[in-house]
Amino acid sequence: MAKRIIISGGGTGGHIFPAIAIANALKTIDSNTEILFVGANGRMEMEKVPAAGYQIVGLDIQGFQRSSLLKNAFLPFKIVGSVLKSLSIIKNFRPHAVVGVGGYASGPLLYAASLKKIPYLLQEQNSYAGVTNKFLGKNAKKVCVAFDGMDRFFEAAKIVKTGNPVRESAVAVEGKRQEAIAFFELDADKKTILIVGGSLGALTLNNSIMAGLDVFKKAGVQIIWQTGKYYYKSIIERFGNQSKKSGIRIYEFLNRMDLAYAAADLIVSRAGAGTIAELCLVQKPVILVPSPNVAEDHQTKNANALVNKEAAVLIADKHAEAELVDQALKVLNDEKLCETLVANIKELGFANSDKVIAEKVLEIAL
């Protein structure tokens, strides 16, 4: 009999893309599987999930606003309302299992599932579990993780190390270097650094690169620079006219992430869990600049999980504008260090995480 599965969560691409990957894997195992997503109204999952071909229901829920206590005045009412709506969703859809991938909607939906004795699986993407996931983990049947040491937060018997699902198209880099060089109109004889700040962009990374463009040019290094949505216009107005002849390629968003990875000799990136999962499969030297603007500084903890195994170099956000350019050139020109980073990050990659997680979901289903 085909199963009915609810997948809850979202808020960022780092939650949504793995969720969709798990849904796709479930459909691959059994095309008759019925899948319903539950997200947060106004968040990006309400657009991305239907675009991927799945139905989604929204909850009126938000996170705790640290910047303004006044904004939290209605939060208790939203939580209660979201739990009640989640109970109604569960009653109507009658799921055999529920999956939580993190994000605002996961809490109310998984709590409602526990009240109705519906088995659920938690997919903890980061190396440091947040308050909500630690609470939800107590009643989870399985907790799928990507990093070692997660028994600090969850019962060891429930933990399955699966890695994080990735966009398969993004990490398919094998044999694509020549195609990538042609695609970005690069010089095959020069080294290339890829700068990735996420779909919205990373101000620190952008400021660091802007300050160091002349240094890169003098060093004969090419740059593929993904600025993000918020910063592209101002950056292209300032540097766009000289980008082609100077070896600087500036993009708001990289539609061919596989070719960007394939062209790169060094990658500079934030340290979101999804990005790290991709980098471990791409197997290039990496400098991580964790975002400080995330709950419980989890990006730094994600980065340290690699740094402690000599699989990446870390530069703190507060030091990046002063140090990133010089460090990038230093790493790029240190052949032995690059070999070490590649050898070690290769050991941390997980292929087929989406399929493994999907199988675990079906194992716990009623």
Is 82 labeled as ligand-binding?
no
Q: Are residues 125 and 19 in the same domain?
A: yes
**CATH number for 86:** 3.40.50.2000
User: Do 195 and 211 have their domain in common?
Assistant: yes
User: What pLDDT, on the 0 to 100 scale, is given for residue 76?
Assistant: 76
> Is the same domain home to 174 and 187?
yes
Distance of CA 28 to the CA centre of its chain: 22
Give every CB contact of residue 266 below 8 A, 6+ residues apart in sequence.
191, 192, 193, 194, 284, 285, 286, 287, 328, 331, 332, 338
Number of structural domains found in the chain: 2
The two beta strands, 159-161 and 313-314, are: unpaired
Instruction: Please check whether residues 359 and 339 belong to one and the same domain.
Output: no
Based on the fold, state whether residues 227 and 130 are members of the same structural domain.
Answer: no
| Predicted local confidence at residue 1, as pLDDT | 82
- 126 annotated as a binding-site residue: yes
Averaged confidence pLDDT in the chain = 91
Is 299 annotated for ligand binding?
yes
pLDDT of residue 300: 95
The Cα–Cα gap between 195 and 192 comes to 10
Contact indicator for 93, 4 with CB cutoff of 8 Å: yes
pLDDT digits (tens, 9 = 90+) for 6-63: 999 888 777 898 999 999 999 999 999 999 999 999 988 999 999 999 999 999 987 6
Residues 85 and 173 both lie in one domain: no
**Above pLDDT 70, what percent of the chain?**
94
- pLDDT for 61: 84
Lowest mean pLDDT among 136-145, 163-172, 301-310, 324-333: 163-172
Judge whether 199 is annotated as a binding position. yes
pTM: 0.88
Q: Do 8 and 121 have their domain in common? A: yes
Check: CB of residue 131 under 8 Å from CB of residue 317.
no
- Determine if residue 300 is labeled as part of a ligand binding site: no
Distances (CA, A) of 108 to 26, 58, 95: 23, 12, 15
Within this chain, do residues 160 and 216 fall inside the same structural domain, yes or no?
no
Cβ pair 63, 104 in contact under 8 A: yes
Q: Are strands 192-196 and 159-161 parallel, antiparallel or unpaired?
A: unpaired
- Cα 259 to the center of its chain, rounded Å: 19
CA atoms within 13 A on the CB side of 278: 25
16 and 144 part of one domain: yes
Residue 228 annotated in ligand binding: no
Strand 4-8 relative to strand 34-40: parallel, antiparallel, unpaired?
parallel
The torsion region of residue 10 among left (phi > 0), alpha (psi -120 to 50) and beta comes to left
pLDDT beyond 70 at 133? yes
> At 285, is the pLDDT very low, low, confident or very high (cuts 50, 70, 90)?
very high
Kind and range of the H or E run holding 90: helix 75-93
Domain that holds residue 285: 169-346
Based on the domain organization, do 96 and 209 belong to the same domain?
no
pLDDT of residue 200: 63
The pLDDT value recorded for residue 13 is 73
CA pair distance 45, 24, nearest whole angstrom: 15
167 annotated as ligand-binding: yes
* Domain shared by 190 and 150, yes or no: no
40 and 136 together in one domain: yes
